[in-house]
Amino acid sequence: MSNPVDRRQFLRHSAAAGLGVALGTMALNGCANASMISTKPSHLTTKPKDLLKVGFVGIGNMGTGHVRNLLKIEGCQITAVCDIRSSQTDKAKKMITDAGFPEPKVYGKDEDDYKRMCANEDLDLVYNAAPWRYHTPICLAAMKNGKHAASEVNIGLTVDDLWELVETSEKTQKHCIMQENCCYDRAEMAVMNMIKKGVFGELLHGECGYLHDLRGMLISPTYYQGMWRWHQETTLNGSLYPTHGIGPMGWCMDINRGDALDYLVSVSSNARGLHEYAVDKLGADHELSKTDVACGDVNTVLIKTKMGKTIICKHDTHLPRPYSRDFLVQGTKGIMRKYPSAKMSTGHGWEDFKKFQDEYEHPVWKAMQEKAKGAGHGGMDFIEDYRMITAIRKGITPDIDVYDSVVWSSLIPLSVESVKNNGKPMKIPDFTRGMWKKPRKLGIEEWLV
């Protein structure tokens, strides 16, 4: 019988003990956890449903784009919206009624009102694009009230929370999905197709990350509601936004589908850029200029997979630089890198990737590109929303399941712990409890539209 308290204490002690002990005792993976969790890991399928009723929480920069997408996707209806700012629920209400749907129920009287929405509303899915600290509690409230849960990027900030999401999804038989749009970007999808077709030979190494000069947005009093993201940067030092990198790389490397992330080490540079920027833009006496920035300007995570591949995942958001996700895959027959411009090589020189993009365009991208035109981030945001809604309607396992969601998110707490301990190796929990060993196709290989 599972005892959540014992299990969490066990996990906490195991994590603190680090890789050495973990390797010796199988802590954080395999049989040790299997005996402590009451339900079995599974690739959850559910009863097909024609119409999904959706409650949307957090209608800010990204949430607004998702609401717009959902209004265009067949078989779903947003019947409830929740945001602590009435300006945002008003905006969503107008978008929904302008699109010809009935007015949604509105929630948001306080920061916990999503709980009332989850308890009171007849919904199939609760989808949130709220600040990070709410992702786990919103997903838990949804599942415990019989709804599927989806979260815009990282689904949790602690290893305990990630286990609780897995446990709750298994117990309630509800999906718990981390939406990661970068899995659906065009070049990455073509590369996934090339990998499956053997163009890279045996895959050995990947590089990825989130490298985006966010300084202006981070110090803005209005860009992120309540400056929630500044708060993250000033309290945590590690890889705070790994999923844009590790998501697509996880798909390329069959993580949870024949391979698994085994352990990581992480180091951060000094934190200088955000502070200098605040002083420059706001003056040395400004409150933000006097606040210590916790997160190093460049954080690097180095990962080894159980089947012997290596991955570098970077986080770099405080320095002047062009946008990049550093996407690179390398195998015995070739190498591709996406930034600063997409190139491929099977020898000593680089070739333009365009020829490969045309030849290996992913069938899902081909099938979706018309529908996705004009949507956020070059169309990939629409594709991710369409795929999630359609999978749930069909009753099949979504492309990104609870195990992908938690293992990708786990890079945050594990990198923070590693940085805190001078780059100490951290075992990455096997949330699948051994299910990763079974090769399994990606959703994007199994069905088109």
Q: By C-beta, is 32 or 187 nearer to ligand NAD?
A: 187
Cα separation of 97 and 90, whole Å?
A: 11
Write down the least CB distance from residue 186 to ligand NAD, Å. 15
Question: Would you say 55 or 425 has its CB closer to ligand NAD?
Answer: 55
Q: Quickly tell me which residue has 């970007």 as its tokens.
A: 185
Find tokens 């995942």 and name the residue.
313
The sign of the CA dihedral 362, 367, 371, 373 is positive
Q: Residue 443: which region, alpha, beta or left (left: phi > 0; alpha: psi -120 to 50)?
A: alpha
Q: Rule CB under 6 A: choose which of 143, 153, 159, 218 binds ligand NAD.
A: 153
211 strand-pairing partners: 316, 324
Q: Which residues contact 94 (CB under 8 A, 6 or more apart)?
A: none
50: which 2 tokens? 């024609």
Site string for ligand NAD, 289-328 (x = CB under 6 A): ----------------------------------------
Measure the CA–CA gap between 374 and 351, rounded to whole angstroms: 29
Binding to ligand NAD by residue 84, rule CB under 6 A? yes
Measured between alpha carbons, how far is 321 from 77 in angstroms, rounded to an integer? 40
- Applying CB under 6 A, among 18, 55, 58, 273 the residue interacting with ligand NAD is 58
Cα–Cα distance measured from residue 398 to residue 400, given in angstroms and rounded to the nearest whole number: 5
From 52-60, 186-194, 304-312, 430-438, span contacting ligand NAD (CB under 6 A): 52-60
| Choices 41-49, 81-89, 230-238, 265-273; region in contact with ligand NAD by CB under 6 A | 81-89
Binding marks (x or -) toward ligand NAD, 118..147, rule CB under 6 A? -----------xxxx-x-------------
The least distance separating ligand NAD from the CB of residue 220, rounded to whole angstroms, comes to 10
**What is each CA distance from 234 to 66, 231, 310, in whole angstroms?**
28, 5, 30
Applying CB under 6 A, the span of 24-32, 80-88, 362-370, 420-428 interacting with ligand NAD comes to 80-88
Say if CB 248 and CB 338 are below 8 A apart. no
Asked whether 118 and 142 are in contact (CB, 8 A), the reply is: yes
Residue selected from 184, 224, 230, 365 as contacting ligand NAD according to rule CB under 6 A:
224
Q: How far is the CB of 31 from ligand NAD (least distance, A)?
A: 34
* Beta-carbon contacts of residue 316 (< 8 Å; ≥ 6 apart): 209, 210, 211, 212, 297, 298, 299
Contacts with ligand NAD in 390-449 (CB under 6 A)? none
**Which residues make Cβ contacts (< 8 Å) with residue 6, sequence separation at least 6?**
36
**Of the candidate residues 49, 72, 231, 377, the single one contacting ligand NAD (CB under 6 A):** 377
C-alpha count within 13 angstroms, C-beta hemisphere, residue 36 = 22
* Closer of 224 and 403 to ligand NAD (Cβ): 224
Q: CA 237, CA 239: separation in Å to the nearest integer?
A: 7
- Shortest Cβ distance from residue 194 to ligand NAD (Å)? 24
Count of residues near ligand NAD by CB under 6 A: 26
Cβ closest to ligand NAD, residue 58 vs residue 104:
58
Interaction site with ligand NAD (CB under 6 A): 57-63, 82-85, 88, 108, 111, 114, 129-132, 134, 152-153, 181, 224-225, 377
